Structure 1
Amino acid sequence: MADSISRSELMQSGLNLIGQALSIFDADLRLAVANHQYQTMFGLPDSLCQPGAFFEDTIRHMMLRGEYGPQDDPDEAVRIRVEQARTFQPHYLERQRPDGSWISVEGAPLSQGGWIAVYTDISDTKRQEALLRARSEELSEQVFDHAEALSAANRELAATITALQETKRVVTETQARTRQVTEMVPADIAHMDRDYRYVFSNRQMPQIFPGTRPDIVGLTGEEALGAPTFAAVRPYLDKALAGRHQVFEITHPESGRRIRIALTPDRGGNGIYILSTDVTAEVEVREALTHASRRELAAKITSGLAHDFGNLLTIILGLQDRLSRSPLPEDASQDVQATLAATRRGVQLLDRIGQIAAPRGMAREPVCLDTLLRDLCAMARPTLGNSVRLSLTTDLPEGRLMLDPGQLQDSLLNLILNARDAMAHDGGEITLDVRATSRWLELEISDTGPGFSPEALSRATEPFFSTKQGQGSGLGLAMVFDQTKIAGGTLHLSNRKDVKGARALLRLPMQPVRPQMVLLAEDDDNLRAMLRRMLISMGHSVIEAGSLAEAQSLTDLPGLTVILSDLQLGDGLGLDLVSPSGPPTLLMTGLPPGDPLRENAPCPVLTKPFDSAMLAEAFVQVTDD
């Protein structure tokens, strides 16, 4: 950063030594660079000479001071000059200022957008020309001849300049079209010099790397991408700067997106061209297909063996249970108990295979995550033994979150037990760190064990893959992966960078429970009371109506956000409460799916009976829509 500041100061000092006034405005018509002569020549205040000053404000200031002579409509004159600046054309002109001095103005557009203008005081030149004209009668014939030749040369030069300006205009238009095309491409296209500094960008970086800025020209890679992302990319940049093409993928730490980056060395040796595209959807489809094929295999195994295997386990459990109630020698009794434990493990294994073959859906409900995590740690600690410690750190907002508590507990417990098994010989520490961002709930489990092997990192989520040398089923991480995908999240496994150990990061969509003001319309008093308690327990405010007429009189209450109504009320249909301009409506009914009255409803319908989790999930869908 100090290097950048010194460069900026050095450039500004050099510009201030130029005898001409200079200004550069960017594509947004804001001042990027100006020297001291620019301020002095036009008598501008400091505020209009700072980077970021608007061109329109500068023109208005100069217009009101009479810089451009009398104006019938100053505002219209300002507007015309601003519009001309938006389609800036190369030009050269000379004009006399109100104080009698003369200046020349030369302007040219820049390839990155915006323009540069150079102002030169030519008052002395104009005075000499006037003096020459006044004394022209005294000049010799030879001077006239030379003047005529010079005039002809000037006319030829003017024609050449006109041709060059036309060529420059064509080039500028071509550059503008190219820039417009690149800015329409759904990818980040950029050029970086050998100092890792951007010299071109199509301004699409925020679309690929959320949280970054579009105007990155002049920034270094670390300044534009952030330190973690640049650290992941830099080894490939170095190889590309050495002349080797690179194509690779990274996971963007801030958003979890999968980014594919192609680096092409500049043939002139001046840096590299960069093409970055978001391939998150492609990777998810690829992973889904891979895991679908593995689940299909598991399904085939399950369908072929589950019936017979389940019958055998049932017989074994029955026989061993009967033996366990019989008087047996101590050794035989221990053998029976061991057989029962092994058989129950077989039942659990069969159930887990079934989950991999056909994962259950989600059952989200409002959850106090801090309480769930503390209960989970309290449940897990006795299973870890004396040599393994489990610590919990949280950074969570107040309020409850919409989660499937069963799935989340299963996934976290599985990861904790995997970490315990990895440290079985030497012991160590397991850390559960939970934090929330605006988009994600991040649950990170790290340990101080030996870490993942390269094979484990590439195959850990495959069904039946295990590193426990025949002691594990190989289904735990596959189940965690599937459950996380169903919840719309991601699972990332890695080794810790600075210390020994493994790291598993679960990312789930951040969905806070938003308190609603609910109009509850139900003609059954007992059911209405039960629903009221259910809604209040979720954190919502409730206004009750025992009939359609009463509900209709309350639909225009200030602050009302949701209507929950029975489809069939005693005095009419809940359908009459649905209005495009009113709050979203959720209907409930005991009518089966396919019933005409239910099928014609213009809003979601919840089937009775339902529990609080089903109601909470329906509320999320209604309020999100």
Structure 2
Amino acid sequence: MQQRVPIAGSVPGGNPGRGNAETRALRSALAAARVESARLAARLEAAERQLMAGRALVSARRAAGEEDAVLGEALEDLWSLTTELEEANSQLARETAERRAELAAVDSALRESEDRVRLAHRYAGAGAWEWDVQSGTMTCSAEYRDLLGLDPDACGTKEDWLQSILPEDRASAERAALRLLDEPGTPEFEVEYRARHPGKGILWLAGRGRLQRDAAGRPWRLTGLSIDITARKRAEIALRDANENLRREVEKEVAAREAAQAGVTQTLKLEALGRLTGGVAHDFNNLLAVVSAGISLLARTEDPARRERLTSSIASAAQRGADLTRRLLTFARRQALRPEPIALGPWLADLGGMLSRSLQADIAVEIATPEDVWPVHADPSELELALTNLALNARDAMPRGGTLRISAGNTTLDGTEEPDGLQGDFLRLEVSDTGTGMAPEVLARAFEPFFTTKPGSGSGLGLAHAYGFARQSGGGARVRSREGQGTCVTLLLPRAAEEASAPAQAEPAAEERPLRVLVVEDEEAVAGLVLDMMRHLGHAPIRAASPALALEMLERGLEPDLVFTDVLMPGGMDGLDLAARLKALRPGLPVLLTSGYGGAPARVAAAGLPLLRKPYTLGALREALAAAADVRKPG
């Protein structure tokens, strides 16, 4: 009796989800070997039966003594056939033995393949499963049940699989399965979810599978693996927590460093403020000494020549004080600028001619301006003052003469070339000299106000003014220098959006006429002087101590020719607010602003009104009033 070989499905621990090529090839070979073995066994039994029957017939004939020739020939043929059958039987026996050996080898290979799969699943923390889509049933391998700690009959349907997933991940896992069924072009199944093991707690699993469809394209079977990825997920969570802790530590460290840096910066600011206030106090004390001493002497002398000298000294001190204040405001970016397009070619040529006449004879002035240089958007008077200050600094650095060069060029910045992150089109104005240059420690403080290496001369505001002007204009300032090799100061100023217009021809001064001026000034002393100056010029001033009072006077019927108002005043309304109200109430009424501080430079510039900077002379007041009153003339 033949030994029965177990069929594939009866292999212990059989995996319903096997789909690898090796296992399938072994199963196919095993089935073919079984068929061939059965066929050979049937042939062998038939040959054995024929052989036994022939031998029995020959023996019976010989015992009966039948020796006739015909019978002899038949017996010979039968004996020959019997021999052939014996040989065939031997051959068949050998083939049967070979087939059985092949069958045993295939069966052994199949068992080894199944053992390798089970071993791989065990060490990979994986379990196989198969979902019959048509019937809705699921079959799980022993490894899958061990992976989740399930009972042998726990994995029966798709609903059983969903119940094994934590409620938080159940919906996403079901969506992944339904999407696989609804989208024909997506045969691969991938999902990560959490499940609870009775002994190990919560596990992270990664489901991977492939959907097979029948000939009609309908979903048939989904075969796949579930892999334990708990260790990887825990490592990711630990890494994320470590990164978060590191981020918090870095933030704490950065905050501590920023606090320390802020303390250092505050200390430096206080030191700079101390130097600034000390410099201002020193310079203004000198100017006030000239003014106070000059006034005392002026009251005690009757000599006209001496009175003229004293008056000139007092006026010079006042002008120096005004210049000092103007430079400080520019450095602090509190000066109200009036930028406009400037054609640098002719403008720098005129400035170069003025500097050639002003500087000492042994200093050569060179102006280099390309023909294609862009127009610059800047305040002409402040730009002239900045370049003049730089030229005077260069002159002081060349006591034995040299060359002063002012050049202009176009440049486009992308935000990475300059420390201030400037972007766009700019004009690069460079003022260079061949003088003594600066030491590194001096260069580091070049833009500080009241820092000077020339005791007894200069205020230390030349470079500071140029820096403040460039920054307030929307650009920047740079300086480079080496001892014995001269200095180069670079101003970066924005390009004008439109071309510069030709300078307007000066018109003949209009004939002055008496004006009724509403003066809005809160300071009593200043208001008294302004009223006296206007009366001296032949005008009829009327004072209002606040913008609110000025509006009240206008509502009562006052009809002034012009409103002359300070910009900064206490209360809820300043001069700019008053100008805005007057624009709505009296559209044709001219307004002239005045300020010594310019605390709102952007608002002053946006107002588009004429501005007379304090302090001002009688002549400057006359020109400003005439220009402002002339605005409402037709034409």
Q: 1 or 2 for the larger relative contact order (CA 8 Å, sep ≥6)?
A: 2
Q: Fold match, TM over 0.5?
A: no
User: How high is the TM-score relative to the length of structure 2?
Assistant: 0.39
Larger radius of gyration between Structure 1 and Structure 2: 2
User: How high is the TM-score relative to the length of structure 1?
Assistant: 0.39
